[in-house]
């Protein structure tokens, strides 16, 4: 029972992490959607696969006893939980958003006298290096078109230039993020994922080692059923609620709330990694609690 609970708690943070990691990278480091998905695949899934293969080869060659394997699984869970705490402090600030009231989750026009629609989020980048909620919030009164496509706005009275003059232009999209923490984040993230993934093979072998040979198929089936029912089903619900709680600007259509346009980077970062850390910590505690139980039948034996 405890091993099954550990397996469920093990899959919850992994499934939630890789489901919402691209969205997190888009929000935290302003990556394009395709770039965020590629980084998630290479820095997460690929690294995890490498860790699983290496750990499998190690167990095949060295043949450690089951007690050592159990201890390593608990150790990797503790390292991963500590890693989530470290990653919680690595992010980028939102100090380049003009007129953002993060306490109330609204953008206030800094100098425009227009009645700007708070539901029409169209970020623009000014010459001052700050991102404005929309062309209206930047005080723009004209549009710039190139080959029939909107490329920016002109005569923006709220955007000062480098020489403090006004009536400048803005471009469509966010301003480039002046933050170099992305490289550190993805390197450390990949490192912690690699360490944690080396427990996958040993975890599966311990399941087979803990039951009677004739019950192995049933044990695997029940654990997979529990993982699917109590792990994969609530995962998007729990993580979706956590992600939504960090939203600052919602898309609204016909009075109905739609997708989130902009997340609070600090809240998103803390909630996202704190949830991972809590679940993995519980998982590690379950493994440590059952370590003595495993010793009863794993002492002086090898993992098959």
Most confident of 69-73, 97-101, 184-188, 214-218: 184-188
| 74 Rama class: left (phi>0) / alpha (psi -120 to 50) / beta | alpha
Query: How far, in Å, CA of 23 to CA of 30, rounded?
Result: 10
Other C-beta atoms closer than 10 Å to the C-beta of 228 total: 12
Q: Determine which of 46-60, 125-139, 142-156, 221-235 has the lowest per-residue pLDDT on average.
A: 221-235
60 CB-near residues (< 8 Å, 6+ apart): none
Do the Cβ atoms of 217 and 223 come closer than 8 Å?
no
Q: DSSP code of 231? A: I
Q: Identify any residues that bridge with 277 across adjacent strands, giving them in sequence order.
A: none
Confidence class for position 285, pLDDT limits 50, 70, 90: low
What's the pTM? 0.81
Give per-residue pLDDT as tens, 3-58: 666 666 666 667 777 888 899 999 899 888 899 999 998 988 899 999 999 999 99
pLDDT surpasses 80 at 195: yes
pLDDT of residue 298: 47
Give per-residue pLDDT as tens, 83-116: 888 998 898 888 888 888 777 767 777 675 567 7
Mean residue pLDDT of the chain comes to 80
- The token pair that represents 240 in the structure block: 């979706």
């Amino acid at each position: 029972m405890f091993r099954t609970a550990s397996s469920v708690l093990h899959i919850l943070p992994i499934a939630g992490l890789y489901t919402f990691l691209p969205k997190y990278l888009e929000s935290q480091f302003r990556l394009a959607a395709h770039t965020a998905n590629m980084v998630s695949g290479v820095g997460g899934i690929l690294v995890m696969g490498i860790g699983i293969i290496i750990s499998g080869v190690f167990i095949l060659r060295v043949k450690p006893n089951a007690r050592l394997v159990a201890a390593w699984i608990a150790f990797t869970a503790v390292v991963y939980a500590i890693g989530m705490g470290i990653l919680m402090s690595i992010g980028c600030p939102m100090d380049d958003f003009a007129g953002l009231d993060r306490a109330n989750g609204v953008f206030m026009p800094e100098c425009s006298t227009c009645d700007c629609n708070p539901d029409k989020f169209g970020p623009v980048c000014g010459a001052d290096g700050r991102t404005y909620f929309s062309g209206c919030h930047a005080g723009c009164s004209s549009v710039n078109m190139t080959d029939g496509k909107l490329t920016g706005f002109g005569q923006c009275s709220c955007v000062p230039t480098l020489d403090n003059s006004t009536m400048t232009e803005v471009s469509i999209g966010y301003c480039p993020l002046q933050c170099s923490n992305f490289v550190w984040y993805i390197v450390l993230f990949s490192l912690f994922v690699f360490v944690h993934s080396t427990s996958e093979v040993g975890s599966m072998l311990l399941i087979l080692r803990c039951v009677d040979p004739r019950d192995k198929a049933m044990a695997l089936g029940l654990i997979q059923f529990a993982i699917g029912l109590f792990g994969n089903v609530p995962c998007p619900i729990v993580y979706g609620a956590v992600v939504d709680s960090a939203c600052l600007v919602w898309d609204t259509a016909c009075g109905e709330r739609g997708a989130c346009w902009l997340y609070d980077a600090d809240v998103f970062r803390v909630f996202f990694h704190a949830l991972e850390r809590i679940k993995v910590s519980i998982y590690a505690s379950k493994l440590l609690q059952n370590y003595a139980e495993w010793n009863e039948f794993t002492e002086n034996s090898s993992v098959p």
